[in-house]
Chains A and B, each alone.
Chain A
Amino acid sequence: MLLISAYKWIKKHILIIASALLMLVHLYMVFIFVPTDANQGIIQRIFYIHVPLAWIGFFAFFVTLIGGVMFLWKRDFKWDRLASASAEIGLIFISLMLLNGCIWAKPMWGVWWVWTARLTLSLVLWFIYAAYFIIRAYISEDGQRARFAAVVGIIGFLNVPLVFLAVQLWETQHQGYLIFEGGMVPEMTWTLMAGIVAYTVLYVLLLKDRLVLKNLENKLNQMKNFITGG
């Protein structure tokens, strides 16, 4: 009896348990398991958090693109909820990644901000998805809000490769910053991989919970409209 209820509890909370465990494992790897980089020293350890943050940021906006396309095609509001929930998480991860980049840049180059290709690309993305939420806030009609947001999500993501090409070329024309030199020893690759897995599970967890909340909000609004006769 106890075993069954324990099993049920684990099954219900599997994502949060997995996420917590993976995060702990990843932190252990970042601070203890992985050897210190010969050239950059201890600062280089930020890299194992920086890259997963960036990965989730970009991946979340890709999900927003998919949600937008599916909404315009199927006209089902669940796709809009998916798109906006994912964009919220993406914006948070990109913000963290930018802050994280600043913390890295200060000891590396002596300044808080450097216009490297990747940081610049992330900053432009940040602005695009900030605009995504500003537009959502300025439209009161649900259908219109979902349509316009989908358009911004699609155009914004189409822009990513172009911005990347431009900032990459700009970097070579102006000044090159050294991000990482030499190869990675296997421990470094493992730590990075563990980070990507841990952050991806965290993303799925956050997305799922945000969707549950959004569905409840939606239900509540429907009930409200029903009661007030709207």
Chain B
Amino acid sequence: MQLLNKAFVIAWKDILSETRAREIISSVLVFAVLVIVIFNFAFSGSQQEMRALAPGILWVTFSFAGVLSLNRSFIQEKEEGCLEGLMICPVSREAIYLGKMMSSLFFMLLIEAIVLPAFVLFFNVNVITLPIITLTLLATIGFVAVGTLFSALAVNTRAREMVLPILFFPIISPVIISAVSASELTLNGAPWSELASWVGIIAAFDVIFLTASYLIFGFIVEE
């Protein structure tokens, strides 16, 4: 319980500093809507065609937005020497991981909660359904589970922002494949039972990488 409490304190610190500085949510949100607008120019088509393209556009938007906000997560800590401060605190590395993971999850979900209605508005495809919300929640957990680990890694390399997408996209490919395929099915009216195996892959990804990243995070922020 102590661990979770400490993690919550770290997450709360991030949320508090975000409400003051407004660095992540506003810029990532504008970026996400921009991606949707650009896709609209790239694939302007009939209602029918847009319906077929919608799942792909939605998940590209989410993964781009994810990589952008995850990058900020540790750059902030690095810039002002905050990471050193955090490490001096009497908290374990695992608590730091959980805390950073939870704040990134919170920001991502908030962004997605605004992007989904915007998506409906622009494409006239109803993506605010229980299956899609469930998929979004599960996939986002997977994104931030590996994303937090890689964000801490990337910020310590010379190329910083470049490294995260190069690592992040291949690793989350099973989540993207599953989320796009399941969204496609549900938009075509498939019942839950047909989505089960896709949801299973995403859930397995979440469990495996939450555990692995939790155990491995200490090796990234050593010294």
Contacts and interface: CB of A to CB of B under 8 A. Distances in A.
A170 B222 CA distance: 39
A150 interface: yes
Given A127-B170, A169-B198, A147 B219 contact: yes
A170 B174 CA distance: 10
Interface stretch (A3-11, A42-50, A130-138): A130-138
A140 B156 CA distance: 11
A134 B166 contact: yes
Interface residues of A, number: 30
A139 B156 contact: yes
A141 B222 CA distance: 13
B216 interface: yes
B208 interface: yes
A135 B170 contact: no
A127 B167 CA distance: 8
Contacts of B169: 127
B163 A158 contact: no
Contacts, number: 87
Contacts of B73: none
Interface residues of B, number: 31
Interface in B207-223: 208-209, 212-213, 216, 219-220, 222
A124 B169 CA distance: 9
Interface in B39-92: none
A166 B212 contact: no
Contact of A155 (B158, B159, B171, B198): B171
A170 B171 contact: no
15 contacts: A127-B170, A128-B171, A130-B166, A131-B170, A134-B163, A135-B153, A135-B163, A139-B156, A147-B222, A151-B149, A154-B216, A159-B173, A163-B174, A166-B201, A167-B177
The 5 closest A-B pairs by CB, nearest first: A166-B174, A127-B170, A138-B157, A162-B174, A166-B177
Interface of B: 146, 149, 153, 156-159, 163, 166-167, 169-171, 173-174, 177-178, 181, 197-198, 201, 204-205, 208-209, 212-213, 216, 219-220, 222
Interface of A: 72, 124, 127-128, 130-131, 134-135, 138-140, 144, 147-148, 150-152, 154-156, 158-159, 162-163, 165-167, 169-170, 173
